[in-house]
Amino acid sequence: MPIASDPSPGAEAVPQYGAWRKGVAGVLAKARKVDVSELPEQPEQLLAQTTYDGLTVNPLYTRRDERPEPPLPGEFPFVRGRDGKRDVHRGWNVSADFTGADAEAVNREILAGLENGLSAVRLGVGANGVAVADLPAAVRGLLFELAPLALSAGADVAEAAATLYGVLDGYTAEQLNRADIQISLGAAPLTSAFAGAPDIDLAKAVELAEQAIARAETVRAITVDGTAFHNAGASDAQELGAAVAAGLAYLRALTAAGVPVADALGQLEFRLSATDDQFATIAKFRAARTLWARVAQVAGAPEAGGAPQHAVTSAVMMSKRDPWVNLLRTTLATFGAGVGGADTLTVLPFDSALPPGELGVSKSFSDRMARNTQLLLLEESHLGHVQDPGAGSWYIESYTAELAAKAWEFMQELERAGGYEQALESGSLAAAIAETKATRDRDVAHRKTAVTGVNEFPNLAEQPLSEQARRPETIARYGAAFEALRDRSDAYLAANGARPKALLVPLGTVAEHNVRVTFIANLLASGGIESVNPGPLAGDEAITAAAKEAGAPIAVLCGSDARYGTDAGPAVETLRAAGVQTVLLAGPAKAVAELGEEQRPDGYLTARIDAVAELSALLEKVGA
């Protein structure tokens, strides 16, 4: 039985829908300056959005989109949550990463974090943090029954597990209630292979799982780390589909070694990214549970299909420029993952894309902001008090089902390619994700997808980044291309004492040029180019004086199309005579199609341009 994607039949028509559609048609016709008859039969489709998975997000959902009510939390297929008895006063586990090399210092940080709101710990060991031999010192004083512990040990995970078991075995039965202890070893050979990160091999991971099954504590040896795909540029369905395919590979390896299906399922947990697209994130975590429950059902153990989910706020959505905006991004991501039913949540510090100390704030401050983002939603907004509050929403239920179906399709593509390991080896998995990344990069470059503070509303007055902060990265951050332009502007500033400049030439009244002046100033700033705006300019003398005073090699004409018809040509000639090397026009070429060659601008800046390419060319013109 495949994952269902068709809405439930039999839903009654919505009486008011026709009136709403008529209203939409009227507004669209007015905005587009066309007659209503020229619009499609279903004009609301013009307001729909398409995700990178090809899913359509409609502008309105009604009971026409109603689906059968899913089972309660804790019941197969776990779409509403894997644990129907979760403590609503506790909500999800508030986790944080600890990666320092000084075991004593890390121990103090862990205990301080637990005293101030953390309820779970992820500890870096070996190359990722404290030495394996120092692991006992790092976890000294940790109440294992109250705070689930996860390891991030990479290739050292087997040694770290043995050391941790030694710590646990040092307690008597009276000192520890082992049934309440939850440990995640974090072995992730298959997803680490995709990310190029060191890890143990699959055979060793199977051995770890067999050891974990024999423990009295609840120990999960293997983490299916979907963030590896997300950080490479994967869409939501690709992240989920690839994660399920990797989970299948683990399941096959475990059962081939003689591990019973239910026990094998009990050795897996999922680590997934949460983004600032809150509804997509809600649907993503609900869909992920549906997918894995289906795998467990096919494997013959549906009751064991509720794998834990560890949400991590997206690293690729974080910006280096105007990084304080990341506080808002992580808040939205936390909301989405919390409402979506994640079991554990890690919020990356708002300055995590930058080297430590880059902003002049302490690590403890950044960590506290990340921790309190979760605590505010839990303690003040009571977000954990209701399990799956999005259930019944026509939008969320539709998005969940459609995303699950698309992710299942992607998993099947990988299976047809020979399974996860074969798709990884052949490069087909990486190629599919790279295609999505390229599409998203084009959208960001054309400013179709906004990254606030980077390609929209940038702050040119912020301090230049350090050389370390400008080093190449391994993750596909959304704003990286624009931030590279800003790096070039910073280098120009350091060498010349001022940023690259462009003169704005407002033509006509404020009403005629204001929209395009604002658009151009914002566009240029996203590439690190400072705008010089002298105010409305009329006549050759005013334009010449402004050009001489600004001393900018670039000028941009800003006005209405009607104004361009009378003023653009003479202004171009005047600017060139004043020594301006490149004269651009804010608007389409058709606005000045009647002009002769000597009066025609050198280029045109519109909302549809590849802003990264255009701004890069302008920076080259000024020597940046």
Neighbours of 554 (CB within 10 A): 25
DSSP state of 380: I
pLDDT at res. 13: 64
| Residues 574, 545 contacting (CB under 8 angstroms) | no
Q: Are the CB atoms for 552 and 532 separated by under 8 Å?
A: yes
CA distance 445 to 500: 20
Task: Give the tens place of pLDDT for each residue, 463-509.
Answer: 999 999 998 889 999 999 999 999 999 999 999 999 999 999 999 99
- Confidence at residue 624, expressed as pLDDT on a 0 to 100 scale: 83
Amino acid at 240: L
Can you list the positions of beta strands (E) in 73-161?
93-98, 120-124, 149-152
What would the DSSP string read from start to end of 128-191?
A: GSB-GGGHHHHTTT--TTTS-EEEE-GGGHHHHHHHHHHHHHTS-TTT--GGG-EEEEEE-HHH
pLDDT of residue 482: 97
Distance separating alpha carbons of residues 222 and 263, to the nearest angstrom:
12
Q: For residue 123, what are its two tokens?
A: 């500890």
Q: In CATH terms, is domain 93-350+387-421 a member of 3.20.20.240?
A: yes
Question: 481-621, which class in CATH?
Answer: alpha beta
Q: Cα–Cα distance between 397 and 323 in angstroms, integer?
A: 33
What pLDDT is stored for residue 485 in this prediction? 97
C-alpha–C-alpha distance, residues 291 and 512, integer Å? 54
Specify whether the CB–CB gap between 524 and 517 falls below 8 A: no
Give the pLDDT confidence score for residue 302 in this predicted structure. 97
Nearest residue to 580 via CA among 537, 526, 612 = 537
Cβ atoms of residues 222 and 205 within 8 Å: yes
DSSP labels, 320-356: SSSGGGHHHHHHHHHHHHHHHT-SEEEPPPTTTTS-T
What residue ranges of the chain have pLDDT lower than 50? Answer: 1-12
Orientation angle between helical segments 611-621 and 428-445, nearest 10 degrees: 70
Question: What per-residue confidence (pLDDT) applies to 378?
Answer: 96
Q: What is the pLDDT of residue 186?
A: 98
Q: Where are the alpha helices (DSSP H) in 100-150?
A: 103-115, 135-138
The domain ranges of the chain are: 17-65, 93-350+387-421, 481-621
Of residues 196, 284, 234, the one with CA closest to residue 437: 234
Q: What is the pLDDT of residues 263-284, one digit of tens each?
A: 999 999 999 999 999 999 999 9
| Three-class secondary structure of residue 178 per DSSP | helix
pLDDT for res 10: 38
Task: Give the other-Cβ count within 10 Å of 168's Cβ.
Answer: 18
* Residue 4: predicted pLDDT: 43
Q: What are phi and psi of 46, to 5 degrees?
A: -70, -20
